[in-house]
């Protein structure tokens, strides 16, 4: 169990201590539930009342926060309480991870595999021939690393992940449980008799630095070349990235999104949950795609917001939704007009 003083924490997050700088904490807690020995934070004004009643030993707050009552906890003031708390959690996780070193048994490491310094290989992990792992790589139980896989430094691979042969993983990458990297792309050629012939998938997957991939996500290998996840991408759980797709720098994708083959997504794109993108499209930088949107064509204008099915610019899509909503009333009016026209025709 790791323990830190308020002064040590303030140094980590570049904050200013108010109160007893020597008080220590060994755990984290929500501000409304925290107990003595725990650290918490206040970022949302709706929780301000708990600032005065919390039993937390240390609370991180904004340097703009005005105190209305006496506070028992030691405070650490920072410009952005939420960002500082996130930084602290990251550092804490890194320190805990550093304690994991060595090779547990039973596990299999092929003779031609290479391991960098400070590695951790958990029991029941399988590392195949020619695999290369950098420094500070943590491999948890039931992970399978295929032949000739290249893994960089400071990589964490959680239980049950499978990385197929020849894939490349960069530095500071986290892959969560159940994810599959490099499975075959969905390539089948139709034949005259109505059956389908499998197209061999000979490429690989390249994941660049500072990428995080959620649980049970699948990234297919390319038919030829590489499926590429660029630097800084964050993928949620249960996402499907098809063969030869490319996800641009610092793009974030929420759960249950499907990206079809050979689609190229730009940098700083945001995609909401359950959205779907057809194949061989291009999505410009900075585009926001709302949840459950169906993207069926290329969009080349940067920083626009898309919604609906088929996807359209948000204002246009919302107008269309209004028209659709009014269709029953419009149909009724058209029927009334038809009757009126028939009556007038008879009189004529």
- Helix runs in the chain, H state only: 6-13, 48-53, 81-98, 314-325, 327-347
Cα 59 from Cα 76, distance rounded (Å): 6
Cα 230 from Cα 57, distance rounded (Å): 41
Contact of 97 with 79, CB cutoff 8 Å:
no
27 three-class SS: strand
Comparing C-alpha atoms, which of 100, 106, 175 is closest to residue 145? 175
Residues annotated catalytic, as ranges:
243
Chain centroid to CA 280: how far? 23
Contact of 144 with 163, CB cutoff 8 Å:
yes
Residues pairing with 49 in the sheet: none
Comparing C-alpha atoms, which of 111, 103, 171 is closest to residue 143? 103
Cα 245 from Cα 276, distance rounded (Å): 13
3 state SS for 257-305: CEECCCCEECCCCEECCCCEECCCCEECCCCEECCCCEECCCECCCCCE
Contact of 153 with 169, CB cutoff 8 Å:
no
Which tokens belong to 229?
A: 């996840």
18 by Cβ neighbours in 10 Å (0-12 / 13-18 / 19+) ranks as middle
Which tokens belong to 183?
A: 């499975």
């Amino acid at each position: 169990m790791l323990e830190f003083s308020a002064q040590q924490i303030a140094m980590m997050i570049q904050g200013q201590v108010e109160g007893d700088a020597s008080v220590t904490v060994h755990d984290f807690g929500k501000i409304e539930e925290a107990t003595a020995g725990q650290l918490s934070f206040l970022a949302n004004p709706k929780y301000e009342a708990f600032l005065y009643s919390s039993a937390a030993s240390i609370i991180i707050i904004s340097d703009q926060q005005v105190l209305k009552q006496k506070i028992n906890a030691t405070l650490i003031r920072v410009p952005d309480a939420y960002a500082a708390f996130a930084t602290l959690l990251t550092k804490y996780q890194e320190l805990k991870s550093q304690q994991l070193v060595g090779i547990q048994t039973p596990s299999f490491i092929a003779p031609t595999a290479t391991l960098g310094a400070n590695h951790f290989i958990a029991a029941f992990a399988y590392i195949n021939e020619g695999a290369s792992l950098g420094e500070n790589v943590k491999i948890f139980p039931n992970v399978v690393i295929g032949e000739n896989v290249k893994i960089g430094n400071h990589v964490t691979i959680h239980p049950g992940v499978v990385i197929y042969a020849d894939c490349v993983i960069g530095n500071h990458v986290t892959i969560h449980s159940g994810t599959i990297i490099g499975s075959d792309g969905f390539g089948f050629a139709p034949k005259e008799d109505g059956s389908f012939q499998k197209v061999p998938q000979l490429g690989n997957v390249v994941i660049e630095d500072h990428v995080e991939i959620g649980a049970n996500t699948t990234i297919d290998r390319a038919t030829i070349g590489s499926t590429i996840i660029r630097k800084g991408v964050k993928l949620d759980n249960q996402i499907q990235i098809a063969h030869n797709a490319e996800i641009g720098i610092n793009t974030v994708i929420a759960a249950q999104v499907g990206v079809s083959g050979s689609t190229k997504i730009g940098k700083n794109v945001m995609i909401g949950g359950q959205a779907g993108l057809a194949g061989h499209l291009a999505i410009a930088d900075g585009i926001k795609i709302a949840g459950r949107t169906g993207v069926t064509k290329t969009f080349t204008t940067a920083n626009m917001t898309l919604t609906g099915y088929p996807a359209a610019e948000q204002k246009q899509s919302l107008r269309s939704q209004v028209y659709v909503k009014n269709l029953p009333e419009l149909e009724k009016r058209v029927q009334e007009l038809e009757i009126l026209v028939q009556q007038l025709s008879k009189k004529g």
